[in-house]
């Protein structure tokens, strides 16, 4: 950042008559205009930097919230996958029980028609 007080020869205000500077001198006017533009650029850069920092902070907060949501959804996914797996095992067991108790029993009870 530009320190306006570091060099007394560079001032952002009008030229001082007590330093022997003539405000009508084109060199003085050009120097003052350049310093004024530099000050404007520095202020603009500072504002842009502050806006970028604020945006980065907001995005960082949103990212953390999204990561937390992803962890929660992954946990729920594992839970429901486990439930589905257990349900499939039970369906397989029920199927086998039905097959053994009803279909095999009917085959042994029915007389042969030969």
pLDDT tens for the chain, residues 1 to 114: 555 544 444 444 454 444 545 568 999 999 999 999 999 999 999 999 999 999 999 999 999 999 999 999 999 999 999 999 999 999 999 999 999 998 886 666 665 555
Which pLDDT belongs to residue 100? 92
Instruction: List the domain boundaries for the chain.
Output: 17-109
Q: What is the DSSP string of 9-78?
A: T--SSPPPGGGT--TT-HHHHHHHHHHHHHHHHHHHHHHHHHHHHHHHHHHHHHHHHHHHHHHHHHHHHH
């Amino acid at each position: 950042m530009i320190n306006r007080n570091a060099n007394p020869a560079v001032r952002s205000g009008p030229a001082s008559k007590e330093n022997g500077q003539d405000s009508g001198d084109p060199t003085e006017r050009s120097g003052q205009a350049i310093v004024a533009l530099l000050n404007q650029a520095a202020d603009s850069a500072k504002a842009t930097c502050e806006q970028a920092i604020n945006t980065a902070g907001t995005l960082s907060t949103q990212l953390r919230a999204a990561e937390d949501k992803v962890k929660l959804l992954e946990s729920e996914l594992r839970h429901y996958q486990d439930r589905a797996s257990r349900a499939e095992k039970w369906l397989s067991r029920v199927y086998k029980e039905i097959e053994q108790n009803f279909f095999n029993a009917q085959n042994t009870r029915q007389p042969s028609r030969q």
